Amino acid sequence: MRCPFCTYPESKVVDSRPTEDGREIRRRRECIKCGIRFTTYEKVEKLPLVVVKKSGGRELFDRSKILNGLVRASVKRAIPLEKLEQLVDDVETQLRNNLDREVSTSLIGELVLERLRQLDEVAYVRFASVYREFSDVGNFFKELQKLTDRNSDSAELNEDDREQR
């Protein structure tokens, strides 16, 4: 590793440890020539993930776009930012594990909605209204009806489980 101060091409590693999230290795290095210490980070290089938009255009995957949308949908909701970041991490991991280098915006949106519904139903409806481009109140009503149907189905399943015990 080249020293950032004197540009000497060799340094020695003094200390190595994982970062708090465990995704990178933090290395303290010391330049062999000038003796100044500096820090480097080592992480796994990810293959680029290309998003295919509805218009047919392509762009690199940008997790901050998803997170920004989730933050907007969660305004005045008691959802910690860490939970939203974890949701984005889960979606990104699933997309990268698919081994497809190109993913559609519709797949990304559905993965986000699936997880957001479990986290907060109000934020889910807000996100869905933008993602699915609701054009009138009827679209909101249909989405709310789906939610209430799912909730009543799961409530009935829970009651059946209790009765069987």
Per-domain residue ranges for the chain? 11-43, 50-144
**Is residue 160 scored above 60 in pLDDT?**
no
Least confident of 44-53, 69-78, 96-105, 150-159: 150-159
Higher-confidence residue of 44 and 101: namely 101
Query: Tens of pLDDT along 15-37?
Result: 999 988 888 999 999 999 999 99
Q: How far apart are alpha carbons 50 and 107 in whole angstroms?
A: 12
With bands split at pLDDT 50, 70 and 90, how would you rate the model's confidence at 129? confident
Q: Is the entire prediction scored with pTM above 0.85?
A: no
